[in-house]
Amino acid sequence: MNTTKSSELFAEAQKHMPGGVNSPVRAFKSVGRDPLYIASAKGAKMRDVDGNIFIDYIGSWGPMILGHAEPRVIRAIQAAAEDSTSFGASSEKEIALAKLIKRFVPSVEIVRMVNSGTEATMSAMRLARGFTKRDKIIKFEGCYHGHGDSFLIKAGSGVATLGLPDSPGVTQSTAKDTLTARYNDIDSVHELVDSNRGQIAAIFIEPVGGNMGCVPGRKEFLQALRDLCDAEQILLIFDEVMTGFRLAKGGAQELYGIAPDLTTFGKIIGGGLPVGAYGGRAEIMKMIAPSGPVYQAGTLSGNPLAMTAGFETLSIIDETPDFYARLEAKSAYLADGLAAALKDANLDYTINRVGSMFTVFFTGSEVVDFDTAKHSDTQKFARYFGRMLERGVYLPPSQFEACFVSIAHSTEDLDQTIAAFRESVE
């Protein structure tokens, strides 16, 4: 596979951007290759600047559930752009998307649009502190909630991929208000609550972890969190930036039947454009300015292009009665094929899947939290990644990221992926 032009572009990029990239995992450092530069994408496939074609399982890290360049979404964005790319004022599209989100996710009574998942989680944290008049939060090892200072503590994802410690630049005074528990371990949460009684504003969690690889929260664990938060007057906040509208119409909370107090969104609600949102119980959300004293603002919040792309994406899902059944069937077909390949090769690796999110962990142990995910053989993963790439399959360049299946993946795409997998694992 010729990647000469990509390598030339990366060499040039390193003169102008930190590490040559605008987001760390894109640098391919943990897999020992130069990153590829993508020229175009359509459906389930991407083409790089050297003309190589790949079946894509990143999907822009989750948003492209319909596949790339879905015609109806593109037409809607083009039409919206004719009216201007930004107003810095209210538009009707904001209301339309807000109403759709509320209908999909019943726990959301009021929603505020922002510009990224990071902005959504930072804003939800400030809101939780303002509402409860408490300072501390609990998060879980391996859960990534964006790059806000309070969340960059045992944060999984790119931090784990690059082998970085807790990020320099995060002050001790900030870090002391973030308490870290073990995922799927309710006793570790009780210990923190008991030793910080009356001080904890919120518990943040990815109900299905996607930033230590795909690691599902256990139903009984999530229900225990809900019960604990009710008893201690702590806000339960589901970070559904990744899982929202992907695992079900109502996200992971629909799948588990557990309603959080607040939910953060991103990715799919922008249809591939930069967007985020947070929403929840009306009494909490009404604390946000201008209806309340908790300040949060954004020049591009509610951007008409992002609102249009998100509305069209969710509308297509809404108008397709069997959408999630079809997506589940595709994802199960792929996961079953990968599992069969491992069995035939007598290899003992672990595949975690929830709906259209999955990860192949290069460990024979069950993966239930960040510690067990870290047992994976990252050198084997790097070799596997390279072999899959050579065979036309584009995966996240990190053991600690989830893969995503889109509705655009065909049976032929899935079969080609399974065949490549058989040749790539060791």
Do 103 and 213 lie in a common domain? yes
Do 95 and 39 lie in a common domain? no
Given a contact cutoff of 8 angstroms between Cβ atoms, the answer to whether 388 and 420 are in contact is: yes
Residue of 48, 56, 177, 239 marked catalytic: 239
Do 350 and 287 lie in a common domain? no
> Is 37 marked active-site?
no
- Residue 174's pLDDT is 75
Do 334 and 305 lie in a common domain? no
Give 85-111 pLDDT, tens digit per residue.
999 999 999 999 999 999 999 999 999
pLDDT above 70 covers a percentage of the chain that reads 96
- Residue 176's pLDDT is 81
- Residue 168's pLDDT is 74
Do 155 and 264 lie in a common domain? yes
- Residue 166's pLDDT is 62
Do 362 and 334 lie in a common domain? yes
Where a domain ends, among 286, 318, 350? 318
11 band by pLDDT with thresholds 50, 70 and 90:
very high
Where a domain ends, among 318, 351, 386? 318
Do 111 and 256 lie in a common domain? yes
The full 3-state SS of the chain, as one line of letters, equals CCCHHHHHHHHHHCCCCHHHCCCHHHHCHHHCCCCCCEEEEEECEEEECCCCEEEECCCCCCCCCCCECCHHHHHHHHHHHCCCCCCCCCCHHHHHHHHHHHHHCCCCCEEEEECCHHHHHHHHHHHHHHHHCCCEEEEECCCCCCCCHHHCCCCCHHHHHCCCCCCCCCCHHHHCCEEEECCCCHHHHHHHHHHCCCCEEEEEECCEECCCCCEECCHHHHHHHHHHHHHHCCEEEEECCCCCCCCCCCHHHHHHCCCCCEEEEEHHHHCCCCCEEEEECHHHHCCECCCCCECCCCCCCCCHHHHHHHHHHHHHHHCCCCHHHHHHHHHHHHHHHHHHHHHHCCCCCEEEEECCEEEEECCCCCCCCHHHHCCCCHHHHHHHHHHHHHCCEECCCCCCCCEECCCCCCHHHHHHHHHHHHHHCC
Given a contact cutoff of 8 angstroms between Cβ atoms, the answer to whether 174 and 214 are in contact is: no
Give 115-172 pLDDT, tens digit per residue.
999 999 999 999 999 999 999 999 999 998 888 777 876 654 545 444 444 667 777 7
Give pTM, 2 decimals.
Answer: 0.94
Give 322-348 pLDDT, tens digit per residue.
999 999 999 999 999 999 999 999 999
Do 303 and 336 lie in a common domain? no
> Is 144 marked active-site?
yes
Predicted confidence (pLDDT) at residue 375 exceeds the cutoff of 70: yes
Q: How far apart are CA 187 and CA 24, in angstroms?
A: 34
Residue of 57, 144, 349, 394 marked catalytic: 144
Where a domain ends, among 274, 303, 318? 318
Do 272 and 235 lie in a common domain? yes
CA distances from 387 to 277, 309, 380 (A): 38, 35, 11
Give 181-196 pLDDT, tens digit per residue.
999 999 999 999 999 9
> Is 343 marked active-site?
no
Give 243-276 pLDDT, tens digit per residue.
999 999 999 999 999 999 999 999 999 999 999 9
How many domains are contained in the chain?
A: 2
CATH code where residue 46 lies? 3.90.1150.10
Stretch 283-311: mean pLDDT: 96
Q: What is the domain range of residue 9?
A: 4-69+321-424
CATH code where residue 185 lies? 3.40.640.10
- In the sheet that 53-56 helps form, which strands lie side by side, from edge to edge? 38-42, 45-48, 53-56, 393-394
CA-based nearest residue to 115, from 289, 243, 273: 273
Do 111 and 178 lie in a common domain? yes
Do 62 and 44 lie in a common domain? yes
Residue of 267, 278, 374, 413 marked catalytic: 267
Do 176 and 224 lie in a common domain? yes
